[in-house]
């Protein structure tokens, strides 16, 4: 079998820049829920002490032989609240019992009148000044303490992954897409009503939020040396909205984000859950190799490859159901299919469709890694 | 030929729909006629969705608009019933460990519009409660909404328990939600899987139609 000859960094960069890597880079999204379940740790405790979540994740990374790309940091409650998202955690709002994991608490927490405030002062200040106290029971002292805790935890994640383990993709920032943030905080129905019946209010907020996202991402990446920003979105796609909505409220802002960050040497990792089949052709308008299109199994990734080949890197989509209830053979066959059909000349990062679930069968995850690491090299 | 009210509902003209309903009710027009025009609008929205002219957004907006119109009409209906014959009973739940209810709520709205009696047990529901409710309500369908893989085992547990108590074959079971695939249908032992609420509705309608045909031919 042919030997590997690239570092994880070189391998990831090659794939993102549409050049041939020695083998397909592997970058599954793994939060804390899978490692915690695997090691029998208490999820409620990890939400209270996020540093322990990072420790569990890196232990898991080492035990399974590692991979190439940086996972996002574990999604702990304080991270969500600080970012302006209401959250339910085991041991707090959910039972401290097996089978319970932290989840977004979507609702109409944000009111129509908040759009103007957001347009005037931006999302960050809106959250810090008032909204954080609406979606949590924190005091200003709690906010300060949790900020410090989150900073230490992010630092620890960076040290463990980037410095000690020399991970290939350095995620300098995580930013929920402005459209998705508003949808989650207004609730899908109310936000949809806003889009159709109060479009100017939404647009004004999106303008300010987009500018804020770009500015804060550049500052954060300059500070920590990261060159990728993780931007999740699962509400703007053609499964929910017609193209007239997508074209007015999502695409121009996304284009501005990707182009502005690319000018600063930052790659946007667009984490696109749900079915984006209708929207995929739009991404051809973005600069070549300016972002990663990360799909979750509901979008036809093979069709997306046909449309975006030689233009943008795709991150693939081994589904949560395959990881959790599929057989090793099914996982192996699907990973081989991805490598065969998406090609080996760059533009593909092998990954999970959204996060590898907490009840993933360990043997399936091993098969995913092993097939990804050896299949292509064994044939060349 | 459709009325202005019907057309305005199809076009999601919220203010026009609500003001016309109010005005016509104030003029003592038959509330059943107003209801029928709104209902026709919803049926035509459904048709547009099936033809892919409309999206989930329009389904949600029209469903909510219809709900608002009904809130205005219902006090005027008195003893009159708008439900008509119930096509079937369906029990819906998001099972233990999962608190997402978006897909379930959309499905519930669509099923009600099609004439199904919906029993919504909510989110994070214990498997034993679902089994007990099936015994009590004896629904034609049981629908699970799922966004997390950790729901697969509890859903399977419910279906296995229904087999144990001899109720499994008396109803059809649907699993739906972004995380579900045909693999989940096979694993849990459900009858149908989808990520599209309208497909779920069509499945229920098809099953009911088939039963009517079988009964008409002298079957069970």
- A193–B149 CB contact, under 8 Å: no
Decide if A77 is inside a domain: yes
Whether residue A288 contacts residue A311, with contact meaning beta carbons closer than 8 Å, is answered with yes
Take residue B84 and report the two structure tokens written for it.
């008509």
Judged against a pLDDT cut of 70, whether residue B218 lies above it is answered with no
- A193–B61 CB contact, under 8 Å: yes
Q: What is the mean pLDDT of residues B100-109?
A: 89
The distance of B219 to chain A (nearest Cα, Å) reads 38
Q: How would CATH label the architecture of B4-77?
A: Orthogonal Bundle (1.10)
Residue A362 at interface with chain B, using a CB cutoff of 8 Å: no
User: Regarding predicted confidence, which is higher, A232 or B82?
Assistant: A232
Decide if A282 is inside a domain: yes
3-state secondary structure of A129: helix
Q: Which residues of chain B neighbour A196 with C-beta distances below 8 Å? A: 12, 57, 61
Preferred mutation among A29, A103, A244, A299 to probe B, highest tally of B CBs within 10 A = A103
Give the residue range(s) of CATH 3.40.50.280 domains in chain B: 88-215
**Whole domain around residue A336: which residue ranges?**
8-379
3-state secondary structure of A116: helix
Q: How would CATH label the architecture of B88-215?
A: 3-Layer(aba) Sandwich (3.40)
Which candidate from B54, B153, B180 shows the least CB-CB separation from A321?
A: B180
A348 φ/ψ angles, rounded to the nearest 5 degrees: -145, 125
Q: What is the mean pLDDT of residues A330-346?
A: 95
The model's pLDDT over B184-198, given as tens digits with 9 standing for 90+, comes to 999 999 999 999 999
Decide if A12 is inside a domain: yes
Whether residue B113 contacts residue B83, with contact meaning beta carbons closer than 8 Å, is answered with no
Q: Which residues of chain B neighbour A297 with C-beta distances below 8 Å? A: 181
**Residue-level pLDDT at B84:** 66
Q: Which residues of chain A neighbour B124 with C-beta distances below 8 Å? A: 94
Helix H or strand E segment including A81: helix A77-83
Residue A283 at interface with chain B, using a CB cutoff of 8 Å: no
Residue B29 at interface with chain A, using a CB cutoff of 8 Å: no
Judged against a pLDDT cut of 60, whether residue B220 lies above it is answered with no
Preferred mutation among B124, B148, B185, B195 to probe A, highest tally of A CBs within 10 A = B148
Take residue A257 and report the two structure tokens written for it.
């984000």
Cα Rg of chain A (Å, integer) = 20
Q: Please provide the average confidence, as pLDDT, over all residues in chain A.
A: 95
User: Which of A303, A335, A301, A306 shows the shortest CA–CA distance to A318?
Assistant: A335
Decide if A1 is inside a domain: no
CATH number at residue A242: 3.20.20.210
Give the residue range(s) of CATH 1.10.1240.10 domains in chain B: 4-77
Beta strand residue intervals within chain B, DSSP E: 88-94, 116-120, 141-145, 172-176, 192-194
Its sign, for the CA torsion B62, B63, B64, B65, is positive
Which candidate from A103, A192, A324 shows the least CB-CB separation from B152?
A: A324
Decide if A2 is inside a domain: no
Q: Where is average pLDDT lowest: A91-105, B99-113, B166-180?
A: B99-113
Q: What is the mean pLDDT of residues B77-91?
A: 79
- With a CB cutoff of 8 Å and minimum separation 6, the contacts of B210 are none
Decide if A87 is inside a domain: yes
Number of domains in chain A: 1
**Residue-level pLDDT at B81:** 64
- For the purposes of burial, counting CB atoms within 10 Å of the CB of B218, is it exposed (0-12), middle (13-18) or buried (19 or more)? exposed
Residue B165 at interface with chain A, using a CB cutoff of 8 Å: no
**How are strands ordered across the β-sheet holding B172-176?**
B116-120, B88-94, B141-145, B172-176, B192-194
Eight-state DSSP code of residue B50: H
Q: What is the mean pLDDT of residues A246-251?
A: 98
For residue B211, name the pLDDT band (cuts at 50, 70, 90): confident
Judged against a pLDDT cut of 90, whether residue B66 lies above it is answered with yes
């Amino acid at each position: 079998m042919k030997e590997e000859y690239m570092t994880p960094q070189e391998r990831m960069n090659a794939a993102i820049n549409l050049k041939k890597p020695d083998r397909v880079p592997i970058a599954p999204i793994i939060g804390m829920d899978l490692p915690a379940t695997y090691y029998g740790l208490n999820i409620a405790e990890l939400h209270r002490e996020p540093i322990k979540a990072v420790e569990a994740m890196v232990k898991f990374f080492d035990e399974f032989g590692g991979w190439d790309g940086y996972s996002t940091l574990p999604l702990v409650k304080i991270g969500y609240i600080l970012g302006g998202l209401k959250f339910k955690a085991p041991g707090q709002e959910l039972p401290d019992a097996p089978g319970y994991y932290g989840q977004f608490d979507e609702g109409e927490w944000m009111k129509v009148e908040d759009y103007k405030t957001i347009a005037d002062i931006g999302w960050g200040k809106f959250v810090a000044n008032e909204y954080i106290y609406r979606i949590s029971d924190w005091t200003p002292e709690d906010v300060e303490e949790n900020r410090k805790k989150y900073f230490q935890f992010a630092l620890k994640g960076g040290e463990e992954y980037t410095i000690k383990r020399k991970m290939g993709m350095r995620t300098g920032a995580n930013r929920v897409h402005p459209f998705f943030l508003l949808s989650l905080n207004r609730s899908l129905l109310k936000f949809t009503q806003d889009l159709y019946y109060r479009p100017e209010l939404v647009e004004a907020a999106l303008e300010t939020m987009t500018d804020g996202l770009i500015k804060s991402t550049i500052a954060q990446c300059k500070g920590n040396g990261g060159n990728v920003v993780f931007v999740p979105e699962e509400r703007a796609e053609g499964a929910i909205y017609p193209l007239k909505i997508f074209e007015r409220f999502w695409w121009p802002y996304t284009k501005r984000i990707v182009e502005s960050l690319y000018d600063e040497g930052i790659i946007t990792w667009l984490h696109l859950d749900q079915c984006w089949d209708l929207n995929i052709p739009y991404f051809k308008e973005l600069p070549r190799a300016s972002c990663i299109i990360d799909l979750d199994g509901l979008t036809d990734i093979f069709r997306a490859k046909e449309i975006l080949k030689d233009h943008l890197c795709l991150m693939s989509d081994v589904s949560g159901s395959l990881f959790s209830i599929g057989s090793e053979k099914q996982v192996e066959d699907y990973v081989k299919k991805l490598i065969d059909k998406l090609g080996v000349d760059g533009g593909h990062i092998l990954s999970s469709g959204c996060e590898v679930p907490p009840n993933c069968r360990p043997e399936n995850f091993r098969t995913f890694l092993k097939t990804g690491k050896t299949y292509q090299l064994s044939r060349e | 030929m459709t009325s202005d009210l019907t057309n305005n509902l199809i076009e999601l003209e919220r203010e026009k729909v609500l003001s016309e309903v109010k005005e016509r009710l104030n003029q003592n027009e038959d509330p059943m006629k107003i209801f029928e025009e709104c209902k026709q609008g919803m049926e035509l929205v459904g048709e547009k969705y099936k033809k892919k002219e409309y999206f989930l957004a329009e389904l949600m907006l029209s469903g909510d608009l219809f709900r608002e119109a009904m809130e205005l009409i219902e006090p005027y209906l008195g003893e009159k019933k708008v439900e008509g014959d119930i096509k079937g009973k369906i029990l819906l739940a998001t099972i233990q460990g999962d608190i997402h209810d978006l897909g379930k709520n959309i499905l519930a709205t669509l099923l009600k519009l099609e004439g199904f009696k919906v029993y919504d047990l909510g989110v994070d529901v214990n498997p034993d409660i679902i089994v007990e409710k099936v015994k009590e309500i004896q629904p034609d369908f049981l629908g699970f909404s799922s966004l997390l893989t950790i729901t697969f085992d509890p859903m399977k547990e419910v279906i296995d328990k229904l087999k144990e108590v001899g109720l499994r074959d008396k109803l059809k079971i649907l699993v739906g939600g972004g995380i579900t695939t045909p693999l989940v249908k096979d694993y849990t032992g459900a009858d149908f899987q989808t990520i599209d609420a309208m497909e779920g509705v069509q499945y229920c309608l098809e099953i009911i139609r088939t039963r009517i045909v079988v009964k008409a031919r002298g079957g069970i």
